[in-house]
Chains A and B, each alone.
Chain A
């Protein structure tokens, strides 16, 4: 009997732990969702009372209707598909090149001396201003858009991975050399993990830049993609479509950022992911 009671108490304890965990995550979600809900409710009320222009600020209920419609007829998915392809394609191409070049520049002083003036000259140029030039070189097709997004993703990755290598305490290079590490081993065991926290914040900046440039180039050219959807809605003054596109972009950005944060915390257990989160 005694024994059984103990067991059931233990189960109770475990159950209450689960309950507490669920309650905690509910509270977290509520903290995020409540202000948004409040915002939309106020908007709905103000809009229904016609206190603000229905054309500029259509009621959230109407935006929802539009969202539902574009989801059902497949147009949103089609726009989203094009945007994601450009976003991720450019992110991976530009990010990978930026990462390799950044790590190499951080590690090899001669390469840094060679490339630093070039980076310093090109980095401050707003990336979207390069679009016409890119169009001349790569034509009006898909390539130009992906090249633009790659350029946007390239610089934050380059700067962050280079800074990541440079802030590694020199003592770790000494330790590796003292224990007979080869250049390749130093790269894998010191350069790469030592700069990882900074690389990961570079990944996030890079991703955000890729999203930004994707929308900009889509607004300028073409009929497909979330940027094009925004621009088209403005040209036809269908503001509910405009808001539907904005909401989609916001959700995509949030999801991508959260995923990267999660990955970062997994990859850098020694860093408490502090520098990555900020």
Chain B
């Protein structure tokens, strides 16, 4: 269930010429590990996840995701930046989409979806369309959809980026609780350094475009973690400063480039 990435690079051909989104990237994630990726905007984080999800081909390099032998679960499920709930489906159909694609019976889909929706406090809204829900509820539904797929690897692209602070805290707790109960390998992209520290076992820090890995640091905080009043203030503060120091110049130069 681990991930092995070797010299992965991606160059996009667009009308304005070629864009190198990802320089050679190599890293490994062990089974059941929670790894965050932080880096300036446009450094290729989404591109990396999309390659791992099998949605686009890398230009160079290779990757491998070890799958438990003989299971019928999907290898990966992605929580997309901006949720990706289908506007034309209600929550039931949205969250049950993966099961439906695998040919499950409607009754089976309904009972499983209602189960996961109630875990996320959404069972009353199963007949609602996404535009009838708040941003936080939509985000929870996107998580529910990915968790219901029960993949070996969860690829999460800024899943809490668009939320207010309270909803975010709630969903972070929710994510950790579910992960603790049902361990998966998680690759979690975020632009929030503190979020990365509080949630992950390890943080991969990327440079501005084309994205390279500039640092790979362990987060030695104890688990289970208290997100509201973390005990190890000092360590957290120290890590935050360290990561920001590494990122600051990258973020600045990528902002100047985009001006």
> Which of chain A's residues have a CB closer than 8 A to the CB of B84?
171-172, 174-175
A172–B78 Cα distance when bound, in Å, is 12
Question: Number of contacting residues on A, CB 8 A?
Answer: 21
Give the shortest distance, in Å, between B31 (CB) and chain A (any CB).
21
How many B residues have CB within 8 A of the partner chain?
A: 23
Kindly list chain A residues whose C-beta atoms are within 8 Å of the C-beta of B129.
269-270
Interface of A is mostly: helix
Stretch at the interface among A21-29, A190-198, A222-230: A190-198
Instruction: Looking at the assembled complex, report how far the CB atom of B173 sits from the nearest CB atom of chain A, in whole angstroms.
Output: 26
Residues on A with beta carbons closer than 8 Å to the beta carbon of B149: 179
CB atoms of A180 and B86 under 8 A apart: no
Given known A-B contacts A174-B55, A270-B130, A270-B131, A179 and B77 have beta carbons under 8 A apart: yes
Known: A179-B97, A270-B131. A174 touches B50 (CB 8 A): yes
Minimum Cβ distance to chain B for residue A192 (Å): 9
* Chain B residues with CB under 8 A of A174: 50, 53, 55, 78, 80, 84
Q: Do B86 and A190 have beta carbons less than 8 Å apart?
A: yes
The interface residues of chain B lying within 8 Å CB-to-CB of A190 are 86
Asked if A14 lies at the interface with its beta carbon under 8 angstroms from chain B, I say no
Interface residue? A189 (CB, 8 A):
yes
Question: Given contacts A270-B129, A270-B130, A270-B131, is CB(A175)–CB(B50) below 8 Å?
Answer: no
| Cβ-neighbour of B101 out of A171, A179, A268, A270 (below 8 A) | A179
Please tell me if the beta carbons of A180 and B101 are within 8 angstroms of each other in the complex.
yes
Q: CB-defined interface of A246-278 with B at 8 Å, one 1/0 digit per residue?
A: 000000000000000000000011110000000
**Chain B 119-143: CB-based contact to A (< 8 A → 1; otherwise 0):** 0000000000111000000000000
A171 to chain B, nearest CB (A): 5
Q: Is A129 an interface residue (CB 8 A)?
A: no
Q: Which of A159-201 contact B (CB under 8 A)?
A: 171-172, 174-182, 185, 189-190, 193-194, 196
Residues of B contacting A271 with CB < 8 Å? 87
Residues of B close to A175: CB separation below 8 A: 78, 80, 84, 86, 97
B105 within 8 A of A: no
A244 to chain B, nearest CB (A): 44
User: What separation, in Å, do the CA atoms of A271 and B88 have in the docked complex?
Assistant: 8
Q: Does any Cβ of A come within 8 Å of B74's Cβ?
A: yes
Asked if B242 CB lies within 8 Å of chain A CBs, one says: no
With contacts A269-B129, A270-B130 taken as known, whether A178 is within 8 angstroms of B86 at the C-beta atoms is: no
Q: Is B82 an interface residue (CB 8 A)?
A: yes
Enumerate B159-196 residues with CB–CB distance to A below 8 Å. Answer: none
Measured CB to CB, the closest approach of chain B to A189, in angstroms, equals 7
Is the CB of B2 closer than 8 A to any CB of chain A?
A: no
Output the residue of A179, A180, A269 with the most chain B CB within 10 A: A179
Of B54, B77, B82, B89, which contacts A171 at CB under 8 A? B82
A192 nearest in chain B by CB position: B88
Q: In the complex, what residues of B have CB within 8 A of residue A270's CB?
A: 87-88, 129-131
Q: Would you call B98 an interface residue if the criterion is a C-beta within 8 Å of the partner chain's C-beta atoms?
A: yes
Which residues from chain A contact B77 at a C-beta distance below 8 Å? 178-179
Residues of A near B87 (CB, < 8 A) are: 270-271
Tell whether B102 is near chain A: CB-to-CB under 8 Å. yes
Q: Which of B74, B86, B102 contacts A172 (CB 8 A)?
A: B86
Name the distance in Å between B48's Cβ and chain A's nearest Cβ: 14
Q: Residue on B with the closest CB to A175?
A: B84
The distance from the CB of A16 to the nearest CB of chain B, in whole angstroms, is 29
Inter-subunit contact A178/B55 (CB<8 Å): yes
CA distance in complex: A193, B86 (Å): 9
Q: Which residues of B are found within 8 Å of A189, using beta-carbon distances?
A: 86, 89, 97
**A179 CA to B54 CA, complexed, in Å:** 11
Complex partner residue of A185 from B76, B101, B130, CB under 8 angstroms: B101
- A196 CA / B86 CA spacing, docked (Å): 13
Q: Using a CB-CB cutoff of 8 Å, which residues 81-105 of chain B contact chain A?
A: 82, 84, 86-89, 97-98, 101-102
- Chain B contacts for A176, CB-based, 8 A: 97, 101
A205 to B59, CA, bound (A): 44
For residue B83, which residue of chain A has the nearest CB? Answer: A171
Known interface pairs A175-B97, A270-B87; 13 further A-B residue pairs with C-beta atoms within 8 A, sorted by A's residue number: A174-B50, A174-B78, A175-B86, A176-B97, A177-B55, A179-B74, A180-B98, A193-B86, A193-B88, A268-B88, A269-B129, A270-B130, A271-B87
- Could you show 26 A-B contacts with beta carbons less than 8 Å apart? A171-B80, A172-B86, A174-B50, A174-B80, A174-B84, A175-B80, A175-B84, A176-B97, A177-B54, A177-B55, A178-B53, A178-B76, A178-B78, A179-B74, A179-B77, A179-B98, A179-B149, A185-B101, A189-B86, A189-B97, A193-B86, A193-B88, A194-B86, A194-B88, A270-B129, A271-B87
* A-B pairs with lowest CB-CB distance, top 3: A193-B88, A179-B98, A175-B84
